[in-house]
C-alpha cells in the first residue's frame, strides 16, 4: 500500500496536495506581511509605502515562480514517463522518493511489466517464426480484405515466388480463393505453381485486434504417402533379399560341390550318399523358400472379411479342440454377438494359440483362453505360463521372428485380420508371474447377446 493511500485512509491530505497548499500560502505571505506592516505602522511615508509594495510584488513574483517550478517539474517528469510508455520506450525510469514518489513508483512498476511482456511477446514471436519455418505444411494468414499477411517458407515454396511479392496480394491473385471457399477440411488434387498433387486443405477464421481473418493450412499428403510407400518397399526388399539369399546361398554352394564331384573321372565310393545329402539340402532349402513365399502371399492377399453373426464361445471351443499338444483351459461367460468373418477370426486365434503352446513347451506350463465383454467391444485373451514375450517393438512387423525357423507371419496376420474387423490385438507380459497375454478385441454388434453361460472347462 502506497504512502498516499495510507494518508487518505488516515484522513490526512496527500503529500503533493499539502505541498501545493503550503506553496500557495507562502506565495501570499509577502502580501499578508505588507498589509500587516501598513496597518501596524500608520501612517507611512509615501516613498516607504511604495518601496514596501514593490518589494512585496517582487518577492511574491519570485515565490510564485519557485512554487510553479516545484509544482510543474514533477508533472513534467510524469508526463515524460507516460509519453515514453505511449511511444513504446520502456527503458526510462523516474526517481522515487520525490513529491510524486508513489506515482513514479507505480509507473516504474508498469514500465517493468510492459518491458517483460514485450520480451515475452518477442520470444514467442521468434519461437512461432521458427516453428512455422520448420513446418512442412504451408501456412497462410489473410486479413479481413483477404490480403496475405503471413506465409511460412513452405508456403512460399508452394507458390514458387519470393517473400516480398507475396504480402499484400489477395487470395484471388494467389489462386487460393477456391481453397478458402470450400469445406473447412478436405483432401483434393490441386496444382500449385511450385508443386502439384494431393493436398489436405484446412482453413479457419481468425480474430485479431477486433478484425477478422482467415488461416489456411495446406499439407502435401501425396509426398508423405510416397515416402511411406518407399520405406515399405525398402523394408520388403530387405526381407525378401535376406530370405532368398539364405536359401540360394547353400543351394549355390551345394550345386557347385555336386558339379565338382560329378566332374571327377573316378567317382568316390560314397558319391551316392554325397549326392543324396546334397539333393536333400537343395530340396529342403527350396521347400523353405516356397513356404516363405506362400506365407507372404497369404499375408498380401488376405481377402476382405465377410462378416456375419458369430457365436464366439463355440468358435473358441472349436479352436481349442484343434490343439492336440496341450489341454487348453477355456473360460467364457455370457458374451454378446459380434459381426465377424468366422474363418479369419478362427485363423487369428489359431496363430495366437499356437504361439502360446510353443511358449510353454520349455516350462511345462498351461494355456488359458478367456472371452469377456467390455464397453463396446469383446476381448479374447490367450494367456500362457511361458517365459514372456521378447522385449521388442517389432513383434507385429511382417517377417520379424525370434523363433528358429519361424516365418514372422503369424502375429502380422493376426493384426491384419483384427484391423480389418475394426478391432485390434496386443501382446503384453503378465504382471504377477512369467508369461504373456495376447488380447484380440472386436467391436460388439448391435444385436442382443447370446443366451446361456459357458462355465470353465478344459478342452482336451
Structure confidence by residue, pLDDT tens digits, 348-406: 888 888 888 888 887 888 889 888 888 888 899 999 888 887 765 556 665 555 555 55
Query: pLDDT at position 21, please?
Result: 73
Q: Does the residue 366 lie in any domain?
A: yes
Residue 327 has pLDDT above 70, yes or no: yes
For β-strands 196-208 and 308-310, DSSP reports them as: unpaired
| Domain-terminating residue out of 199, 224, 249 | 224
Q: Does the residue 167 lie in any domain?
A: yes
- Residues 359, 315: one domain? yes
CATH no. for residue 340?
Answer: 3.30.565.10
Whether the CA torsion 414, 419, 422, 424 is positive or negative: it is positive
Residue 214 has pLDDT above 60, yes or no: yes
Query: pLDDT at position 240, please?
Result: 66
For residues 378 and 13, which has the higher predicted lDDT (pLDDT)? 378
| Domain-terminating residue out of 300, 323, 350 | 300
Q: Does the residue 110 lie in any domain?
A: no
Q: Does the residue 81 lie in any domain?
A: yes
Query: pLDDT at position 235, please?
Result: 66
- Cell numbers of 170, please? 489477395
CATH no. for residue 184?
Answer: 3.30.450.20
Confidence of residue 448 (pLDDT cuts 50, 70, 90): very low
Cross-strand pairs, 458: 329
- Residues 351, 440: one domain? yes
Query: pLDDT at position 393, please?
Result: 58
For β-strands 367-374 and 328-332, DSSP reports them as: parallel
- Residues 447, 325: one domain? yes
Q: Which range marks the domain in which residue 200 is found?
A: 136-224
Query: pLDDT at position 399, please?
Result: 54
Say what percent of the chain tops pLDDT 70. 72
- Residues 165, 69: one domain? no
Q: pTM for the complete prediction?
A: 0.44
- Residues 250, 282: one domain? yes
Q: Are 60 and 31 in contact (CB under 8 A)?
A: yes
Residue 115 has pLDDT above 80, yes or no: yes
| Beta-strand runs (E) in 169-268 | 185-191, 196-208, 211-220
- Residues 154, 215: one domain? yes
Q: Does the residue 128 lie in any domain?
A: no
- Residues 388, 410: one domain? yes
For residues 216 and 325, which has the higher predicted lDDT (pLDDT)? 216
Q: Does the residue 120 lie in any domain?
A: no
Domain count of the fold of the chain: 4
- Residues 273, 177: one domain? no
- Residues 237, 295: one domain? yes
pLDDT (tens digit per residue) in 233-262: 666 666 666 667 666 777 777 777 777 777
Confidence of residue 229 (pLDDT cuts 50, 70, 90): low
- Residues 216, 234: one domain? no
When mean pLDDT is compared across 26-30, 144-148, 353-357, the lowest value belongs to: 26-30
Q: Does the residue 107 lie in any domain?
A: no
Q: Does the residue 170 lie in any domain?
A: yes
Residue 112 has pLDDT above 80, yes or no: yes
Query: pLDDT at position 451, please?
Result: 37
| Domain-terminating residue out of 58, 81, 102 | 102
- Residues 331, 455: one domain? yes
- Residues 161, 250: one domain? no
Amino acid at each position: 500500500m502506497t504512502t498516499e493511500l495510507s494518508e487518505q485512509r488516515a484522513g490526512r491530505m496527500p503529500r503533493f496536495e499539502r505541498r501545493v497548499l503550503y506553496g500557495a500560502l507562502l506565495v501570499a505571505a509577502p502580501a499578508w506581511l505588507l498589509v500587516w506592516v501598513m496597518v501596524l505602522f500608520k501612517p507611512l511615508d509615501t516613498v516607504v509605502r511604495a518601496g514596501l509594495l514593490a518589494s512585496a510584488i517582487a518577492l511574491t513574483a519570485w515565490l510564485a515562480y519557485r512554487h510553479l517550478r516545484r509544482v510543474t517539474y514533477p508533472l513534467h517528469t510524469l508526463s515524460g514517463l507516460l509519453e515514453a510508455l505511449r511511444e513504446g520506450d520502456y527503458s526510462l525510469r523516474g526517481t522515487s522518493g520525490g513529491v510524486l514518489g508513489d506515482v513514479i513508483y507505480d509507473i516504474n512498476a508498469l514500465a517493468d511489466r510492459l518491458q517483460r511482456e514485450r520480451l515475452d511477446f518477442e520470444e514467442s514471436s521468434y519461437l512461432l517464426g521458427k516453428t512455422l519455418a520448420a513446418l512442412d505444411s504451408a501456412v497462410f494468414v489473410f486479413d479481413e480484405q483477404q490480403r496475405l499477411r503471413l506465409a511460412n517458407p513452405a508456403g512460399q515454396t508452394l507458390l514458387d515466388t519470393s517473400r516480398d511479392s507475396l504480402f499484400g496480394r489477395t487470395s484471388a491473385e494467389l489462386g487460393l480463393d477456391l481453397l478458402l471457399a470450400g469445406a473447412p477440411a478436405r483432401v483434393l488434387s490441386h496444382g500449385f505453381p511450385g508443386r502439384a498433387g494431393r493436398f489436405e486443405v484446412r482453413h479457419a477464421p481468425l480474430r485479431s485486434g477486433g478484425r477478422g481473418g482467415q488461416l489456411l493450412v495446406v499439407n502435401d499428403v501425396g509426398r508423405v504417402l510416397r515416402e511411406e510407400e518407399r520405406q515399405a518397399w525398402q523394408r520388403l526388399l530387405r526381407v525378401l533379399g535376406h530370405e532368398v539369399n539364405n536359401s540360394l546361398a547353400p543351394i549355390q554352394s551345394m550345386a557347385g560341390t555336386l558339379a565338382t564331384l560329378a566332374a571327377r573321372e573316378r567317382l568316390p565310393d560314397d558319391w551316392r550318399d554325397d549326392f543324396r545329402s546334397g539333393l536333400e539340402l537343395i530340396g529342403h532349402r527350396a521347400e523353405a523358400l516356397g513356404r516363405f513365399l506362400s506365407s507372404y502371399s497369404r499375408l498380401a492377399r488376405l481377402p476382405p472379411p465377410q462378416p456375419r453373426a458369430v457365436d464366439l464361445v463355440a468358435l473358441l471351443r472349436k479352436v481349442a479342440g484343434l490343439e492336440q499338444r496341450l489341454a487348453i483351459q477355456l473360460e467364457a461367460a455370457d458374451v454378446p454377438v459380434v459381426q465377424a468373418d468366422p474363418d479369419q477370426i478362427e485363423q487369428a486365434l489359431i496363430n495366437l494359440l499356437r504361439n502360446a503352446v510353443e511358449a510353454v513347451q520349455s516350462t511345462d506350463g498351461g494355456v488359458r483362453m478367456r472371452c469377456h465383454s467390455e464397453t463396446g467391444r469383446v476381448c479374447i485373451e490367450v494367456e500362457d505360463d511361458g517365459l514372456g514375450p521378447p522385449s521388442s517393438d517389432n513383434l507385429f512387423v511382417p517377417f520379424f521372428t525370434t523363433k528358429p525357423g519361424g516365418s514372422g507371419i503369424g502375429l502380422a496376420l493376426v493384426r491384419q485380420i483384427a484391423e480389418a474387423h475394426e478391432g485390434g490385438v496386443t501382446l503384453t507380459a503378465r504382471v504377477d508371474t512369467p508369461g504373456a497375454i495376447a488380447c484380440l478385441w472386436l467391436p460388439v454388434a448391435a444385436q442382443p447377446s447370446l443366451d446361456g453361460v459357458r462355465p470353465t472347462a478344459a478342452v482336451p
